[in-house]
Structure 1
Amino acid sequence: MNPVAFTIFGIDVMWYGVLISTGVLIGVLIALREAKRTGFKEDDLIDFLLYAMPIGIIGARAHYVIFSWDYYSQNSSQIINIRNGGLAIHGAVIAGIITGIVFCKKRKINVLQLLDLIMPSLILGQAIGRWGNFINQEAHGGPTDLPWGIIVDGQKVHPAFLYESIIDFCV
């Protein structure tokens, strides 16, 4: 599979980024709808998202770098180079939760209310974003003989991204 969705002004735009961005956009729209429905102030939600999204990207990169430290300790100039991949959802979620706690404390908002509001969006975004792993041929499971296995590097493996995506959509 070609991981490049399209090229604009000589810069490759990767499918992974397109899918993650799509998941984020749909998630934001759902969260805004939920804010209206539940009476949560939309301005507070937008302010939170303006903090949480860039901090989440930093957290995602930091998590990846920490768990790949053998490489990055020898190639420190690559630490901020996300064009070559290296974002981990775990780091984004951790950074987002910390951001939410601090944000809610400063704004005197119930953090559980914010979490209730954004979690469906986060899960849906994850379900969509996992398809980037399929295109990149990464985050797959171990070898399998099951009929729904996918071929990666000449070996039939479990489509772990698909399992997670289905579970996320079901939630």
Structure 2
Amino acid sequence: MQPLLQATALAPTLVSASIPSPDWSGFDIPLPWGSLRIHAYALCILAGIVVGLWLTSVRWAKRGAPEGSVWDIVIWAIPFGIIGGRLYHVVSSPDAYFGPGFNGTGDLSLIPQIQRGGLGIWGAVVLGAVGAWIGCRRSGVKLSAFVDAAAPGLLLAQAIGRWGNYFNQELFGGPTTLPWGLQIDANNPNFPAGMPADTLFHPTFLYESLWNLAGVVILLALDRRFSFRRSRLFWLYAMYYTLGRVWIEAMRIDDAEQISILGITTRLNVWTSIFVFLAALAFFVILGLKGRPDPDTVYLAGQEPDQPVTAGPHSETVTEVRDPDNVVSDSDSRGNLPDNHSGSRHASDPTEEAAAAPAGSKPGTDATAAGHSGSTATGSASEAGTGK
């Protein structure tokens, strides 16, 4: 009885130190035919996309990607990702849409209502990657290079988007007495039946948000140190995220598809996280054995931009090949120039040599003799100058 009284006395203190349930979940925009409801969940998702895109665009530009290509890629990736995320959620939690055991008692009209919550990250990543591949092909860049640039931004977007679960009061964990326990309104449809109204729950949205924020810092630090290529940073992201998702998912108490493997029954998302982790680890190791790509460029083969040829230390030197018979020596070329003082040509001019040569003599012999004579005279003059 005494422990019960102590727990009752402690309850108000725990509630006052807990995370309060939100008293705001969105706002309405009046329209001529009614109003448009803007949900806080959607705003969190949008804020995550914007911030994640900012980080991705900064990293993508540093890789030397073509200007504006990030927008050409995400215009395909985001819609595909949203559709994939919704489809995965519907498959992994089908009761609300198809009824328990697919008995037809569900409401199919709820499937497109994503503002109510429900986007599975695995479907978003898989189908989003398909959209990104389309955008990359159209932009002439490698998907592997883009996902490496986008990995930290993707984790940052998830960290912000997770707060949408808080405003929807959904996807929380089991009961807890920790001072950061989460309050859930007792009249909320997600409140577990049969529990006291003042029960506090594990804020799994907060755990995952903090885990993801720490992952952003870790990924950026590792990439700065190792400069990962060939999509290895993306697979490192997948390993990190799934490692945290396993223990966070195991804490949740919301309805989910249960899968039995090797006699172990647990949530579908837990098994998915395990398999994705193992696959990501295998890809990370295999791609690491290939080393860095050569050349290390974000462009697809044959899609590199034209580079202007400029003179520089590494520029090509074009050598002109000429016929040896037509090569004129530098001295012969200078010999054909007029003398600056007399205006006459040098004695090496063949025409003048032939005209000045005595009859019967050989021009070549005379020219040689003249050359020797000139050399002797020059040498004498030089010696006279030095002995002066």
Q: TM-score range by the shorter chain?
A: 0.7 to 0.9
State whether residues 123 and 169 of structure 1, in contact with CA within 8 Å, keep that contact through their aligned partners in structure 2: yes
Instruction: Map Cα deviations across residues 136-166 of structure 1 (whole Å, 9 max, x no partner).
Output: 1112111112121112243211111111111
- Distance in structure 2 (CA, Å) of the matches to 1:52 and 1:26: 16
Higher alpha-carbon deviation: 1-10 or 134-143? 1-10
- Distance in structure 2 (CA, Å) of the matches to 1:160 and 1:147: 14
State whether residues 127 and 166 of structure 1, in contact with CA within 8 Å, keep that contact through their aligned partners in structure 2: yes
State whether residues 25 and 167 of structure 2, in contact with CA within 8 Å, keep that contact through their aligned partners in structure 1: no
> Letter of the aligned partner of 2:123 in structure 1?
G
Higher alpha-carbon deviation: 133-142 or 39-48? 39-48
> Letter of the aligned partner of 2:125 in structure 1?
V
Note closer, same or farther for the CA distance 1:112–1:88 as it changes in structure 2 (3 Å cut).
same
Higher alpha-carbon deviation: 96-105 or 15-24? 96-105
State whether residues 35 and 42 of structure 1, in contact with CA within 8 Å, keep that contact through their aligned partners in structure 2: no
Task: Tell me the residue number matched to 1:37.
Answer: 62
State whether residues 32 and 42 of structure 1, in contact with CA within 8 Å, keep that contact through their aligned partners in structure 2: no
Normalising by structure 1, we get a TM-score of 0.87
Task: Tell me the residue number matched to 2:77.
Answer: 52
- Within a 5 Å distance, the mapping from 1:84-123 to structure 2 comes to 84-101=116-133, 103-104=135-136, 109-123=141-155
Task: Tell me the residue number matched to 1:7.
Answer: 28
> Letter of the aligned partner of 1:131 in structure 2?
W
Higher alpha-carbon deviation: 155-164 or 107-116? 107-116
> Letter of the aligned partner of 2:142 in structure 1?
N
Identity %: 36
- The answer for unaligned runs of 5 or more in structure 2 is 1-21, 99-103, 187-197, 216-388
Instruction: Map Cα deviations across residues 71-109 of structure 1 (whole Å, 9 max, x no partner).
Output: 323333333233433322222112112333455466653
Secondary structure (helix, strand or coil) at the match of 1:140 reads: coil
- Distance in structure 2 (CA, Å) of the matches to 1:79 and 1:120: 30
Higher alpha-carbon deviation: 106-115 or 48-57? 106-115
Are positions 1:149 and 2:174 aligned together? no
- Distance in structure 2 (CA, Å) of the matches to 1:65 and 1:35: 33
Indicate the structure with greater helix content: 1
2:207 pairs, out of 160, 163, 168, with 163
Secondary structure (helix, strand or coil) at the match of 2:183 reads: strand
- Within a 5 Å distance, the mapping from 1:77-88 to structure 2 comes to 77-88=109-120
Q: Cα offset for 1:69?
A: 2.8
State whether residues 77 and 130 of structure 2, in contact with CA within 8 Å, keep that contact through their aligned partners in structure 1: no
Task: Tell me the residue number matched to 1:24.
Answer: 49
Alignment root-mean-square deviation, CA: 2.1
- Within a 5 Å distance, the mapping from 1:128-139 to structure 2 comes to 128-139=160-171
Task: Tell me the residue number matched to 2:288.
Answer: none
Larger radius of gyration: 2
> How many aligned residue pairs are there?
171
State whether residues 4 and 14 of structure 1, in contact with CA within 8 Å, keep that contact through their aligned partners in structure 2: yes
Normalising by structure 2, we get a TM-score of 0.41
